[in-house]
Structure 1
Amino acid sequence: MTDLDLLALRRKARRLLSPWDRPGSPGATLGVVRDGALVLHESAGEASLELGIPIGPQTCFRIASVSKQFTCAAILLLEAEGRLSTGDEIHAWLPELPDLGATIRIEHLMRNCSGLRDMLELMRLGGTDLSHPATPEHLLAAIGRQRGLNFAPGTRFLYSNTGFLLLGRIVEAVSGEPLGTFLERRLLAPLGMTRTRHTPAVTEVVPGLATGYFPQGQGFARAAHGFPLGGEGGLVSCVEDLALWDRNFATGGVGGTALGRALAERAPFANGRLNLYARGLEVTDYRGLRTENHGGLWPGYKTCFLRAPEAGLTVIAIANHGGIDVHHLGHLMLDAALEGRPGVHPIPALPPRPALEGLAGRWLEPHSGATVEFEIATDGTPMATQHGLPFALAAAEDGRLVARRGIYPFALALPEGGWLAIETDAGTVTRFRRAEGTPALPAGLIGRYACAELDTTWTVAPAGDGLAVQVRGPVGSAGPWPLLPIEGDCLRVLTPATLFQGWVDAKLLRDAAGRIAGIEVSGARARGLRFERQA
């Protein structure tokens, strides 16, 4: 890369960061690693709006789920020493966990194919969101109450923070020391990652840590954090330290080059289809290149760690602005670094807008009650929303549309004959049809419903012109959560949350006489939870 190439790349980074390069705005930082050297590091915006401190090279951020690859690396180091096996059944190290009638192995946790329901979603459905105070014991209790799985281990992919919390506890059980101490001694200190640390308590004072913010009206609000952090997302880090971590994939200074290969090694599901999720990294193709990447999301913080090893490139994008799409920002920066490189595929074009408009609207899978909505943004970008989380769609090389965000297998062709086929994990194809007519909530919904697996009661009662749920859970209470009719016995429960206005899909359960006997609820990462009618 010539000096002029670097100049052009730096100017591209400044243009991408320019919307936040002003006083009174949080912002982001961008880094590009080429062939083991950090060749670019640009930032914009403020690390602290209260103090007017700009984001700079020393600024640290909560990198959230980018921590997962470090937790997996700790497991792999212990395996290399013969102290555990990734094929071990998890009860061998965590005997206190409930027996869920299936064999769950450490490997399943690392690859997000265990079937374990996500603890953060379980807490939310019990009325306790990320901003509310909680303890490690609360999270472990939510995991311990489970009596079922999302699916049989090894058969599907579904992102689950539960698995990585448990991996962190396995590291502690095997090593005999706290996860943060093990990571510091075995990974961070040897690699010179002096500004990276594990922070189990969000109240811990961390030098150089940027404050996380959400857009609010014409300004910003500080993001509130109440949950403890473990192997699923507890690291604070920065661009320079993540560049040191990236270099270890090639040099093998810690764990040998076998460590990096093992982290990025894909494995098949039970049906033979390859899981896109390796061990704390998602492995996909982008413009004809293999990428190994992961995102991080915590209130007020977003991270994109994006490797393209065949091109010798890595992009790191981190924000303390909850409204920045760092996944898109990172890929735009990768595009700029790939400019003019032979053999790189062009970015596929989206279908014409009239064709995309046939996608717009609400779609329903009538058997489960799952829903997805589509709209076309003002700039022509097709947007999908599931469980309240909107995400952009991009054109794939096979002509389909795919989710333009990490850790989310989602691909579809434009609808035909009123039906829409969406392919997700393990090659699973689900057929949706348009939700019909002007829906109304079914009669007889008012009452109290209990879910033993959540230790939670939902009370459906009149609210305004409709109905809403009042939630009483083991840690907190919430509500009213409005009920939205979809079609027939399918409905939606709106669940306000710290990160976004969420929803869960719900379908009524009826007894032999046709009376409402319960509600089956499915969120993004916890499926098939049953609320039995009590009164």
Structure 2
Amino acid sequence: MYRAVTDLDLRMLERRVDALLAPWAGQHGPGVTIGVVLEGRMAVHRHAGLASVEHDVPIGPATRFRIASVSKQFTCAAILMLAAEGKLSLEDEARRYLPELPEYPQRVTVSHLMHNTSGIRDMLEIMRHGGADLGTPIRLQDLVDGICRQRTLNFAPGSRFLYSNSNFLLLGLIVERLSGETLESFLEMRIFAPLGMRDTRVTQNLQEAIPHLATGYFPDDQKGWLRAPHAFPLHGEGGLVSSVQDLALWGHNFTTRRIGAVWLDGLTTQTPFTNGAVNRYARGLVVRPYRGVETISHGGLWPGYRTEFLRVPAQGVTVIAISNSGASDPNLLAHRALDAVLDGRPGVHPVPALPGREAVEKLAGRYLDPETDSTLELALSDQGKLTITTNGMTVTAEAMEDGRFASPRGSSVFALRAAGPDAVEVEQDAGTIGLWHRVTPGDSLPEGLTGSYHSPEMATTWTVTEAEGKTWIQASGPVATGPLWEVEPVQGDVFRLHVPGTLFRSWLDVRVLREHNQVVGLEASGGRVKHVRYNRLAGSPETKAP
């Protein structure tokens, strides 16, 4: 049973949400909108900031945003509809419907795609390996081609979790092939129209003019704003525009079951890994505990747009936070709004306190996992909190009830604790635990690195040169030739390759491969693409840039 909500509760909630929005209020820049739904009713819906900085248009109740990966649950819903109609089985091999996929070493099923356990490499990172960023104009077929070139997987299907946009593009294509309709038409007729979600639609073409759509922005170096560049087509992985009002209708449908009574629970069904460990990623939704209650959520990130869709079914609460500022954190805002609802309710745990500044300072440094060659940065923020950076993505750690630090509120597990003065114990998905060792700064780059290297799977050549006392790599791929990327030593034959991008400055962890002490290749791993081999081209000379 839900706790009755009083008028005093609502006034307190309104003030808490207004306080969360205060940094954007009265500022001539993009902003945030937050909606809190209690027991099926929009209890609070507040906004701050501008939908269009150029035209001074404020964010309002009907403002639409690109909700990016929050789209994934709708693609999964379409698959579950088709399964309920007997048009496919979730245990069918994906190649049955997508014969252009290669024959992988292990069988990849539709279910693997939905749970992010397929091992198929992420298409956005595949493009990044070839020098293309999200602002590079490409076609949908370029993404499909990149996926289909891969002959190896990140891991054996079902054994691990790794977020991959490729999974949901492929699911969207399956929907289209089995239904004979576009994904846009299918979702409109089957979900959006029946629920009255008038602000929601699939928009694959980013050039299409959409009424009431907020413009996405990034901050510039002069305390102003720039339009966020994006040119990749969008599909089942992130193609929806929507609004807080529409997402509230969708969230309420999980209670009313106006549509999907047969298949709706399938969206939150979890399938364990092959070792029996829990996978918190269900089907386009993440199921995880927070303060002793079960939450169901998903975030969205696209240049200039950030979204959090967060439900606590047992408490009758849904929180939706959306922003058109790339510098905002709707995930954090949504959880702070949820805290305002949960505080004082029976059975809700207090927010665990973070250790003091001294404990955080002792952890600060760079760490290397000797098993995977992955690197990790731990640092002390200006506020005295621990930040965790992996492959360039930085988050502020939250405390766990067992005293560990964790990457906050994510779709996967990343928790750590000190393991002596120069090591941390890191737990990741599928219960994988590793001991990462502190790296002493000041190492030099491996010798014999300059030359050219090629990956057939990426259809890309990397050229390593030296200039101005530094080492650089330039990628030439199937759709672009990228800028120079700086190479930074880590330890021994492991180095870091910095890849600036639209969303953030990412990095790849790279190991030099040797035979008879001669460099014969490179093996690169990023956040969502692992163990890509680049073979040194025959006769490739060591080169120095002029």
TM-fit CA distance, 1:437: 4.6
TM-fit CA distance, 1:259: 3.1
8 A contact 1:327–1:406 mirrored in 2 = no
8 A contact 1:167–1:231 mirrored in 2 = yes
TM-fit CA distance, 1:464: 1.7
8 A contact 1:23–1:52 mirrored in 2 = no
Q: Work out whether 1:469 is the aligned partner of 2:456.
A: no
Counterpart of 1:436?
Answer: 440
**How far, CA to CA, are the matches of 1:520 and 1:431 in structure 2?**
21
* SS of 2:351 mapped into structure 1: coil
Match of 2:236 among 231, 236, 247: 231
Q: Work out whether 1:448 is the aligned partner of 2:448.
A: no
Q: Work out whether 1:20 is the aligned partner of 2:24.
A: yes
Written as runs of structure 1 = structure 2, the 5 A alignment for 1:337-376 is: 337-376=341-380
* SS of 2:194 mapped into structure 1: coil
Counterpart of 1:531?
Answer: 534
Written as runs of structure 1 = structure 2, the 5 A alignment for 1:24-173 is: 24-173=28-177
Over residues 81-118 of structure 1, what are the superposed CA-to-partner deviations in whole Å (9 max), with x where a residue is unaligned?
11111111111111111111211110000000000000
TM-fit CA distance, 1:441: 0.8
Q: Which moved more, 1:413-422 or 1:431-440?
A: 413-422
Residues 1:268 and 1:408: Cα distance change in structure 2 (over 3 Å): closer
**How far, CA to CA, are the matches of 1:158 and 1:440 in structure 2?**
32
TM-fit CA distance, 1:278: 0.2
TM-fit CA distance, 1:196: 0.3
8 A contact 1:363–1:373 mirrored in 2 = yes
Runs of 4+ aligned residues of structure 1 deviating over 6 Å after TM superposition are none
Written as runs of structure 1 = structure 2, the 5 A alignment for 1:178-197 is: 178-197=182-201
Counterpart of 1:255?
Answer: 260
Over residues 292-324 of structure 1, what are the superposed CA-to-partner deviations in whole Å (9 max), with x where a residue is unaligned?
000000000000001111111010000000000
Amino acid in the other structure paired with 1:518 = G
8 A contact 1:368–1:507 mirrored in 2 = no
Amino acid in the other structure paired with 2:239 = G
8 A contact 1:391–1:405 mirrored in 2 = no
**How far, CA to CA, are the matches of 2:385 and 2:184 in structure 1?**
42
Over residues 371-394 of structure 1, what are the superposed CA-to-partner deviations in whole Å (9 max), with x where a residue is unaligned?
000111111221010111101110
TM-fit CA distance, 1:145: 0.6
Over residues 378-428 of structure 1, what are the superposed CA-to-partner deviations in whole Å (9 max), with x where a residue is unaligned?
112210101111011100112111111422310111232522111111001
8 A contact 1:289–1:308 mirrored in 2 = yes
* SS of 2:172 mapped into structure 1: helix
Give the root-mean-square deviation of aligned CA atoms: 0.9
**How far, CA to CA, are the matches of 1:333 and 1:260 in structure 2?**
26
**How far, CA to CA, are the matches of 1:116 and 1:128 in structure 2?**
19
8 A contact 2:281–2:412 mirrored in 1 = no
8 A contact 2:363–2:418 mirrored in 1 = yes
| Structure 1, gaps ≥5 residues long | none
Over residues 190-233 of structure 1, what are the superposed CA-to-partner deviations in whole Å (9 max), with x where a residue is unaligned?
01001100001111111110000001121110001110001000
**How far, CA to CA, are the matches of 1:291 and 1:368 in structure 2?**
31
Aligned residues: 533
TM-score by length of 2: 0.96
Amino acid in the other structure paired with 1:434 = R
**How far, CA to CA, are the matches of 1:424 and 1:385 in structure 2?**
14
Q: Work out whether 1:243 is the aligned partner of 2:248.
A: yes
Percent sequence identity is 51
**How far, CA to CA, are the matches of 1:191 and 1:344 in structure 2?**
32
Amino acid in the other structure paired with 1:504 = L
**How far, CA to CA, are the matches of 1:92 and 1:444 in structure 2?**
45
| Structure 2, gaps ≥5 residues long | 541-546
Over residues 460-510 of structure 1, what are the superposed CA-to-partner deviations in whole Å (9 max), with x where a residue is unaligned?
001221110111100001121000000110100000100001100000000
8 A contact 1:359–1:415 mirrored in 2 = no
Q: Work out whether 1:517 is the aligned partner of 2:520.
A: yes
Match of 2:499 among 492, 495, 499: 495
Amino acid in the other structure paired with 2:173 = R
Amino acid in the other structure paired with 2:241 = V
* SS of 1:294 mapped into structure 2: strand
Over residues 332-388 of structure 1, what are the superposed CA-to-partner deviations in whole Å (9 max), with x where a residue is unaligned?
000011122122100001112111111101001134321000111111221010111
8 A contact 1:364–1:432 mirrored in 2 = yes
Q: Work out whether 1:410 is the aligned partner of 2:410.
A: no
Written as runs of structure 1 = structure 2, the 5 A alignment for 1:206-355 is: 206-217=210-221, 218-256=223-261, 258-355=262-359
**How far, CA to CA, are the matches of 2:503 and 2:412 in structure 1?**
17
* SS of 1:9 mapped into structure 2: helix
Match of 2:12 among 8, 25, 37: 8
**How far, CA to CA, are the matches of 1:251 and 1:489 in structure 2?**
57
Q: Which moved more, 1:135-144 or 1:258-267?
A: 258-267
Amino acid in the other structure paired with 2:163 = Y
**How far, CA to CA, are the matches of 1:433 and 1:489 in structure 2?**
16
TM-fit CA distance, 1:24: 1.6
Residues 1:333 and 1:375: Cα distance change in structure 2 (over 3 Å): same
TM-score by length of 1: 0.98
TM-fit CA distance, 1:155: 0.5
**How far, CA to CA, are the matches of 2:441 and 2:399 in structure 1?**
31
Residues 1:437 and 1:203: Cα distance change in structure 2 (over 3 Å): closer
